[in-house]
Amino acid sequence: MFVSLRDVSLRGIKQLWLKNGFRCLSTAPGTFESNKKNIVLVDGVRSPFLLSGTSYAKLMPHELARHSLLSLLRKTRLDKAAIDYIVYGSVIQEVKTSNIAREAALAAGFSDKTPAHTVTMACISSNAAITTGMGFIATGTFDTIVAGGVEFMSDVPIRFSRKMRSLMMKASKAKSLGQQLSLLAQFRPNFLTPELPAVAEFSSGETMGHSADRLAAAFNVTRQEQDEYALRSHALAKEAQEKGYFTDLVPFKVSGVDYTISEDNGIRVSTKEQLAKLKAAFVKPHGTITAANASFLTDGASACLITTEEKAKQLGLKPKAYLRNFTFVSQDPVDQLLLGPAYGIPKLLQRSGLALKDVDAWEVHEAFAGQIVANIKALESDWWCKTYLGLSEKYGSPDINKFNNWGGSLSIGHPFAATGVRLCMHAANRLVREDGKLAVVSACAAGGQGVAMLLERHPEATAN
């Protein structure tokens, strides 16, 4: 049956889109009814998150990703042939394996018929991988998706300067001795100065740490507030680690390392006095961001399985959570670089017909302690919420007693592209252990972007 577009009103087109398009990924405002496919997070895994330059130093990134892919299959007892598609996030990419999703999949023994691609969206790259997979499922393109991310800061690509690269390219095409000597005469010693990758904004040239320091100052976040939040993160992470709550973590036996790596190695409980001795790391000498209240460069990988509830039942799998809704936001990358949660959380909850009090567990990425406190203060500010969110008064902030109760990126670590899956898994497992129903995951990212996701506990979920 063919229908002319002239016979369909604009309103009708909109209704068809809302019914059949990507909006079906979300709950309708004011309800908990999801789309007919009912997309679920089945389970997820991660490698131990390690300080860069430690026990993973001799690996390549695709080997870390391979470990997570194989660990996920072992945990779910799923055959590789059941996976329709693989999406992986990566930020600082190894040139040799730029489509790391594909290279890791092949290294893990997946069929060469299983397509895979890599996404990059800074610190929310694995969130983008998950939501990309949700899109595939919602449109009926694929049923069973592996989404994840990997970051390897122990060996980052370091380039020759542009002048040196240009000279080398010309030299490769020089045919005569005269041409080669002419090019050699153009060489200058400063051409050998390397270009190092930096956690800095291309648009502004400012490092993220410097931006975080300015953000903290703008919201009057004190050094003491930041150190106290950092202490909280490490103490809660240590407690969760000792209680065996990190069931998403899969030990890794690395070739050449004489022990099995079984724990995150950045969790360090300290004291206020010790933290107070540290000097400013970015805005010197009067800045408030230090090595202790900022997340550290981390190596690690993660992976999770998403599918429909119906497909999960067919495969004999018990999901962790329903993936109910998500949104991405973006704002000024200069003065509001790290305010993604303050923009994303109200937008997500409004779209879902929910209020702050309805959320039982919060998992928010901790890039810096100052960034966390600044986002909380933004949501508690009448002026900020009126000016930037268009509200009539302050939105309010999450209940701190439900906030990052197992620590966060400050303590556990932050492999840029792998953190999103870790956030989702901790949110899902916390809902079980804390007997909650709804969780919100949110994170900021370079470029002044952010994400917020809504998860609902599945009735068959366990925290294993």
Q: Which residues does the annotation mark as catalytic?
A: 123, 444
- Would you state the structure tokens that stand for residue 241, as one six-digit string? 């680690």
> Please, where are the H alpha helices in 188-320?
208-218, 223-242, 272-276, 309-314
Q: 111: closest CA among 149, 82, 87?
A: 82
> What whole-number distance in Å separates Cα of residue 308 and Cα of residue 144?
8
Q: How far apart, in whole angstroms, are the C-alpha atoms of residue 255 and residue 346?
A: 46
- The rounded distance, in Å, linking the Cα atoms of 98 and 119 is 10
Cα 355 off chain centre by: 24
Which of helix, strand or coil describes residue 242?
helix
Alpha helices in 244-288 (DSSP H): 272-276
Output helix, strand, coil percentages for the chain, rounded to the nearest 5: 40, 20, 40
Q: Count the Cβ atoms, other than its own, within 10 Å of residue 152.
A: 30
C-alpha torsion angle, residues 98, 99, 101, 106 (rounded to 10)? -100
Instruction: Give the pairing of strands 298-308 and 321-330.
Output: unpaired
Beta bridge partners of 150: 301
CB atoms within 10 A of CB 136: 18
Centre a 10 Å sphere on the Cβ of residue 131 and count the other Cβ atoms it contains.
Answer: 24
Q: How far is CA 135 from CA 26, 138, 140, 142, 309, in A?
A: 11, 5, 9, 9, 15
Q: Tokens 């055959």 belong to which residue?
A: 79
- Please name the helix (run of DSSP H) or strand (run of DSSP E) that holds residue 324, with its range, or none: strand 321-330
Looking at the DSSP bridge assignments, the partners of residue 237 are none
Which segments within 110-222 are labelled E, that is strand?
Answer: 116-119, 145-151
What CA–CA distance (Å, rounded) separates 358 from 349?
9
Give the whole-angstrom CA distance, residue 373 versus residue 124. 19
